[in-house]
Structures are given as structure tokens and as C-alpha cells.
Amino acid sequence: MAQDTNSKLTTAEGRPIGDFQNSMTAGPRGPLLIQDVQLLEQMQQFNRERIPERVVHAKGVAAHGTFTVTNDITKYTKADFLNKIGKKTDVFLRFSTVAGEKGAADAERDVRGFALKFYTQEGNWDMVGNNTPVFFIRDPVKFAHFIHTQKRHPKTNMRDMDMQWDFWSQCPESLHQVTILFSDRGLPKTLRNMNGYGSHTYSFINDKNERTWVKFHFKTKQGIKCMTDAESAELIGKDRESHQRDLFNSIEKGDFPQWRFCIQVMNDQQAKDFKWNPFDLTKVWPHADFPLIEVGTLELNRNPENYHAEVEQASFSPSSLVPGIETSPDKMLQARLMSYADAHRYRIGTNYQQLPINRPKCPLANYHRDGSMATAADYGSKPNYFPNTIDGTPKDDPAYKECPMPLATDDDGQVIADRYNSRENHDDFTQAGNLWRLMPEDEKNRTANAIAGVLSQARQEVQMLQLCHFFRADPDYGQRIAKAMNIEIPEDLLQHAVTGK
């Protein structure tokens, strides 16, 4: 709503206000009068100032910016905003922590959300990623349980290390992400000094309707910088909004952070031959086999004017896709296609897409109508049903049909619906071990100490189960954590821990 800041002060209904510093009372010492409607309006409005915070990623900070294409990737995708070198698209990027509530400190060890909205000429593309290329689970049936373990204990109402490690020890597919979380990158120094990843595998579709599997990477141009546990504890003591402050101030003084947007691509044959499931969210695609291809530059260059309107009400959903970018069989992605938009309808309301921050900047025409807070102005008396025989009404166009997606079949060529065991025949240890092996010595020690510090707070049974997972990833990884926890592992048990035999 446009507002003339020099205009008269009014009620929400527009009535000019004569005195807004004194309530209306019956005599100078008397009680308030219910006829003081401007006071009532203010108090009632104030009671409703908050909307439910996000159940995850509640603490966030965001900025507007620009994406510029630097490389021609039209052989992979027909996405309009990627079709010409030099083409610019407005973006909005929201960073967040995952577990903490809205008032949580920024500098806590956690995964960071990296949710990016591209306002393209063919609709909004939301790249709802994290600062890690993988996730803790591969089956969405575990998601709510996982988040419960990251939040508060039902009795103590405190974060609880036993809950966290109990769950992780029962779900070794988490080990890769746990390794990243407790490595240096679990504590980014600033939001400008970390990478973003789409994490899931998506599809690119080109103008010949050919599909390529794709992963998205945003590499910081500011360089990776991290904090130690001691530095973060000290910072939290001084400033709970350290990351928000850093980003806001950098942009305010014209020091605009940038990221290099890159992709990895995989064709169908490579997907079949890949030694891991290419749609498993707990795995990366090794760079040596699938090198990064540069696409463009993302720059953040404008702070929001109003935090609530722009950041709190910003709604990102992996289901916001544009022609040329489609889904994949990744189970976690499939579930997120439903759950994000559903969360926004609960948290903000049915018509959250009509808010200025969420509204696409391209022409819009559909048959959605009504619901709470609907702005009917765009549609007026236009038909609210389809198909119809009325001239000038919006019509579908076969040019924009999704590309048919192949699904894996059994030997008889059938697709069988079943509850496939998401733990069976999965290698949960190699990639976590690969990451451990590429860490420099000092990072290995910091990672082992960070894990030992919190794993020690879990029950002994949980400690032992989890230690076995670290040993399976790499004996040195397990040994360093055990040592930091003052746990002596006898040789025969060590053998059992590594091989499971």
C-alpha cells in the first residue's frame, strides 16, 4: 500500500486523528471509554502483529540482488532467464539457521538455509537450498522426527544432545552431513563467506525437450571463512545478530557480496552407471567426474526496507519452477514440492503468493479465486472457471508441457510401488570418509573435538553406536573422536566397529 508519509495521521479506516497521545477517559482521573475506537484499533492490531514463525529456518536475514548470466548453457536448459549472456534477473536471497527459533543467536553451529527467489519473465524460480551440498536423511518420512531432535526436549524444554545423537546413531545416512556440520563449515564466519547449494538433483530441459540431471552450486567470491567454537561462543556473548548485522552493514556501505553460480550435469547413461544413487540427498557428485560449469554471478545489493513485509513474509518453495527446470526422483525433493507451499498457506495464508515479495514480476493469469485476504482487483468480473468459450481468457499452451520423466523399472519392465528400505544397499560411509580425508590436520582435530564435546552428553549406548559410524567412515576419524572423549577402544572392538563383523 503506497503511503504519503507527510499526510495526516489516520485510523486504518482513514479517519484523520486529532490526538494520538492521550486516551479518552471519563474525567482526568477516570477510566477509559470504549468509544475511544482509535485506541481499541491500535491495541487489537498490536495483538496480531506476529505471524507463526517458521517451524524450521525461523531466524533469517535477506537481501535483494541481481543475477547476471556469464556463460551460455542453453544446450542444457531453455530457462528464459538463462538464455543470453549478460541477461539480468532480480533475486531475493534469505539466509537462515535451521534449528533456532526467531530470537536465536546467529553464530550457532548449524546448517544455514540459502533460499533464493529468481523473479524471471516466466515465473518465479525458488532455489531453496542450504550451505551444505547434502542432508541428514534421504527419506522424508524421517524429516519431522529429525527436526524434533534438533528442537527442545518435551520435558526439559531444552536442546538435548541425547535426542540428537540417538537419532543420528539410528540413521547413519546422516553421517556425511554430520561431518560437514561439525567441520569448520558448520560455523561460517559470516553469511557472505559460505557457499550455497541446491543439494537436490533437478532436471534441466532444453529446447529440444532433452533432459539433463543437474545440481546447483553457489560459490562465494568472498572466500570461505569460518569460526572456531570458542570464537562463536565469544561472539554470541557480545552480539546475537552478528550475521544479520554483517550482511546488512556490508550492503549498506556498498560492499556487495557475490557468488559464482555453477552447475554439475549428468546424462541418463551416467546416472545409470553412477556408483551411488544420483537422486540420494545424502550424496554429492564428485567434482572429478562431474566438473563445475559456470553459469553466472549472483550479487546482493539492496537491503529490505521492511523486515516483516519482505523477509518474514517471504515464501520460498521448491515447487516454484520455471520452464527449463524440472524435478527429479529425489524423494526428499518430491516431499518438499508439497510441504513448503503447504507451510506458507498455514503460516501466512491462502493468498501468500499475492504479497509483493512473493508475487512474480511477470504477467499472471489463472483461475485461482477468493480465500482469506484475496485481492480480487486483478480478476474483477473475469470468468473463474476453465475451460470456457469466452474470448480473451487465459488458455494453456502445449509448448509448456513438462518433459516426460523416465522411472526405474524392474527386470520385467514394471514399476513396483513399495516401501523400499531406505537403508538397504546404501553406502553411508564412503563420502563422509572422503570429506574427512580431505580435511587438513588442524581441521580434523577441531572437527573431532567439536563432535566429542557434544557426543559426550549423550547416553553411553548412543555414544558407542555413533562412534562405530565414525570408525566405518575412516578409522582415524573414529579414533580421534574416541581419544577426545577419553574412550579406549580395544583392538578386537575396533575391528568390529570398522567392519560391523
- Which listed range, 52-60, 66-74, 334-342, 427-435, lies at the site for ligand NDP (CB under 6 A)? 427-435
Q: Closer to ligand NDP at the Cβ: 350 or 449?
A: 449
Among 195, 201, 297, 466, binds ligand NDP (CB under 6 A): 195
The verdict on 297 binding ligand NDP (CB under 6 A) reads no
- Hey, what's the cell of 358? 512473493
The verdict on 184 binding ligand NDP (CB under 6 A) reads yes
Taking alpha carbons only, the member of 400, 342, 387 closest to residue 123 is 400
Q: Is residue 69 within 8 Å of 87, Cβ to Cβ? A: yes
Q: Is residue 110 within 8 Å of 98, Cβ to Cβ? A: yes
Q: Is residue 453 within 8 Å of 160, Cβ to Cβ? A: no
Shortest spacing between CB 206 and ligand NDP, in angstroms: 23
The verdict on 58 binding ligand NDP (CB under 6 A) reads no
The verdict on 377 binding ligand NDP (CB under 6 A) reads no
The verdict on 185 binding ligand NDP (CB under 6 A) reads yes
Q: What is the DSSP string of 269-311?
A: HHHHH-SS-TT-TT-PPPTTTS--EEEEEEEEEE--S-HIIII
Shortest spacing between CB 289 and ligand NDP, in angstroms: 8
For residue 423, what are the contacts with CB-CB under 8 A and spacing of at least 6?
A: 172, 173
Q: Is residue 477 within 8 Å of 180, Cβ to Cβ? A: no
Active site (annotated) includes residue 130: yes
The verdict on 497 binding ligand NDP (CB under 6 A) reads no
Active site (annotated) includes residue 249: no
Shortest spacing between CB 264 and ligand NDP, in angstroms: 6
Shortest spacing between CB 369 and ligand NDP, in angstroms: 44
The verdict on 435 binding ligand NDP (CB under 6 A) reads yes
Q: Is residue 469 within 8 Å of 455, Cβ to Cβ? A: no
For residue 157, what are the contacts with CB-CB under 8 A and spacing of at least 6?
A: none
Signed CA dihedral, 268, 294, 187, 58: sign only:
negative
3 state SS of 447: helix
Shortest spacing between CB 288 and ligand NDP, in angstroms: 6
Q: Closer to ligand NDP at the Cβ: 182 or 340?
A: 182
Among 170, 434, 456, 495, binds ligand NDP (CB under 6 A): 434
Rounded to 10 deg, the angle between the 441-455 and 229-238 helix axes is 60
- Which listed range, 162-170, 178-186, 248-256, 487-495, lies at the site for ligand NDP (CB under 6 A)? 178-186
The verdict on 257 binding ligand NDP (CB under 6 A) reads no
The verdict on 57 binding ligand NDP (CB under 6 A) reads no
The verdict on 355 binding ligand NDP (CB under 6 A) reads no
3 state SS of 465: helix
Among 130, 149, 244, 431, binds ligand NDP (CB under 6 A): 431
Taking alpha carbons only, the member of 314, 110, 296 closest to residue 217 is 296
Q: Residue 329's CB: how many other CB atoms inside 10 A?
A: 17
- Hey, what's the cell of 193? 563467506
| Residues in 107-136 that interact with ligand NDP by CB under 6 A | 133
Looking at the DSSP bridge assignments, the partners of residue 211 are 205
Residue 101 to residue 60: CA distance in whole angstroms? 10
For residue 53, what are the contacts with CB-CB under 8 A and spacing of at least 6?
A: 101, 102
| Residues in 221-250 that interact with ligand NDP by CB under 6 A | 224
- Which listed range, 119-127, 200-208, 431-439, 481-489, lies at the site for ligand NDP (CB under 6 A)? 431-439
Looking at the DSSP bridge assignments, the partners of residue 266 are 213
The verdict on 34 binding ligand NDP (CB under 6 A) reads no
Count of residues that interact with ligand NDP, criterion CB under 6 A: 18
Shortest spacing between CB 74 and ligand NDP, in angstroms: 23
Q: Closer to ligand NDP at the Cβ: 120 or 447?
A: 447
Residue 405 backbone dihedrals phi, psi, to 5 degrees: -105, 125
Shortest spacing between CB 196 and ligand NDP, in angstroms: 11
The verdict on 287 binding ligand NDP (CB under 6 A) reads yes
Shortest spacing between CB 470 and ligand NDP, in angstroms: 14
Q: Closer to ligand NDP at the Cβ: 187 or 314?
A: 187
**Set 124, 130, 277, 303: catalytic member:** 130
Residue 114 to residue 56: CA distance in whole angstroms? 13
Shortest spacing between CB 46 and ligand NDP, in angstroms: 44
Q: What is the DSSP string of 199-219?
A: -S-EEEE-TT--EEEEEEEEE
Q: Is residue 348 within 8 Å of 315, Cβ to Cβ? A: yes
The verdict on 477 binding ligand NDP (CB under 6 A) reads no
Binding residues for ligand NDP, rule: CB under 6 A, are 133, 176, 180, 183-185, 195, 219, 224, 284-288, 431, 434-435, 438
Q: Which residues are catalytic?
A: 57, 130
